[in-house]
Amino acid sequence: MGNQNLEGSWIYCDRCHGKLLKRLPNGILHFVFGKSRNSDGSLSKRSPIDMQIYGSLKIQCFRWECRHTNIVNFFPPVILPNEK
């Protein structure tokens, strides 16, 4: 996964490497999808789907040429030093 900064880090699809969702610095996963229109037909800055997820999930890549199922764990893997 990418570097952790104040804005969070992106989580990418394992197969096509497209962006799936963002892991915020506090560990919460942020998912935004879709576009909505204003009453005059122009694009709105709000998305119809805007979720913050606390926990692990299984998400399918939404790119039609990929559709790979990705598993995102709430706690990233921890590498422990060798104990002797």
Give the gyration radius of the chain's Cα atoms: 16
Q: What is the pLDDT of residues 47-70, one digit of tens each?
A: 888 899 998 899 999 899 999 999
Angle at 77 between CA 73 and CA 79, to 5 degrees: 175
Query: Residue 20 sits in which domain range?
Result: 9-37+44-72
Judge whether 17 lies within some domain: yes
Judge whether 13 lies within some domain: yes
Confidence of residue 7 (pLDDT cuts 50, 70, 90): low
Judge whether 61 lies within some domain: yes
| Count of domains for the chain | 1
pLDDT higher than 80, residue 4: no
Judge whether 3 lies within some domain: no
